[in-house]
Structure 1
């Protein structure tokens, strides 16, 4: 009886994903429950490709079948402990859930991020910036909303003149994620699962919106993940699920 229930639960999880070319699986980075949910979804989807916001293209290229069988060796090869991302033990089950999937990295190299201090976002992105929506300014209302979100995310400690650059940084990362996903789909035929933060997974202006602009023929699905007792993540997700809140200190304590 228990096995039948588990099989039914897995079928329910898989059902809304089966017809999709690309499945964005959002997260709050430090929430263990969100990564459990991602691993379950990846296992149900059996994607041909996994795209990680957390990896650069160069680091993704280091991953071999031998490394994927050894959590510690893989963590060391990716220099994960120096990356600033949460503990690798939360992410490894996602890799293990699709052992045959090709791995792609979508992180923008730090040197490119620094270029935003002196160059426009379309120049940093490079070829086909127009196709990925970076040559147009954002609508005024959206620009203002995104600047306010950046200020709040940085504990109201940013100089106001930095806010446009911070928004451009987010746009660059969204576009780089969309480009990596499109490359993964073109190389493998999909489906593609994307592991990224809720902010990048939102369908209204995140990577799915940019991917829809660059490749409107693709079927996209986006999962947002919230925490119990808090509001749902905004962004027009196809589905939102909740996990218990992670234990964390107030990140703004350093500014008090």
Structure 2
């Protein structure tokens, strides 16, 4: 079903684009790009969601954040045991958690019942091949070929889990809800938006992809930022 929405004007950080109203906003990122998190925080403030779901949190962690919890980096870093999480510095994510004062929920943790997402059904051959090629590339072509199907299956399961957790927040708190996640989960062809469309086609989803000037996954809107200086992650495999 085609749905028409009024528009929200984005901040200059989002290049003056317009963002349509939707039930769920999936805001993608490259995890260590600070500019991407600035955009996410700005959009969360403007969308004013009822809840923000984070790929980086379990519900147990999210439950530690009460309405009275100060949402500064120092407080959240200790409260969430962030230093042990393996994610980039909490200073990148704290402004998103502080924007708008929404309920914070987690997308990680026990997956729950994902039977509605068709994870037991094989993908079309061409999609399976594309997904395996992507997994090989992001793992620096270091994975044995016979492991690639398992990595594809894991990604499918995470997309379904993130979709389920986001829909749970949507059903509990009402729209709009924001999901903060990596671009690989935000992509519209087979990521979280596609998983939501499979089980709840009446729920409108808008997906933002944020890149660093190169090729990006498909999304409803793509924004580019300067790349972060970082070592080549494939050096460890050479």
Higher strand share: 2
| TM-superposition CA deviations, 1:137-190 (whole Å, max 9, x none) | 111111111111111111111112211111111011100000001000000111
- What is the rounded CA distance, in whole Å, between the counterparts of 1:53 and 1:68 in structure 2? 21
TM-superposed deviation, 1:126: 4.9
Q: Higher mean Cα deviation, 46-55 or 64-73?
A: 64-73
C-alpha separation in 2, matches of 1:108 and 1:203: 23
8 Å CA contact retained: 1:201, 1:208: yes
**Equivalent residue for 2:19, pick from 11, 16, 19:** 16
Matched, 1:234 2:237: no
Q: How many residues align?
A: 229
Alignment gaps of 5+ in structure 2: 1-8
RMSD: 2.0
TM-score by length of 1: 0.84
Report 1:48-197 matches (<5 A): 48-99=50-101, 101-108=102-109, 125-129=111-115, 131-197=116-182
The residue matched to 1:53 in structure 2 has which SS? strand
Equivalences for residues 209-220 of structure 1 within 5 A: 209-220=194-205
Instruction: Give 1 or 2: higher helix fraction.
Output: 1
Distance in 2 of aligned mates of 1:66 and 1:72: 15
Deviation of the 1:15 alpha carbon: 4.6
Runs of 4 or more consecutive aligned structure 1 residues displaced over 4 Å after TM superposition: 11-15
TM-score, normalization by structure 2? 0.90
Equivalent pair of 1:108/1:173 in contact (CA under 8 Å)? no
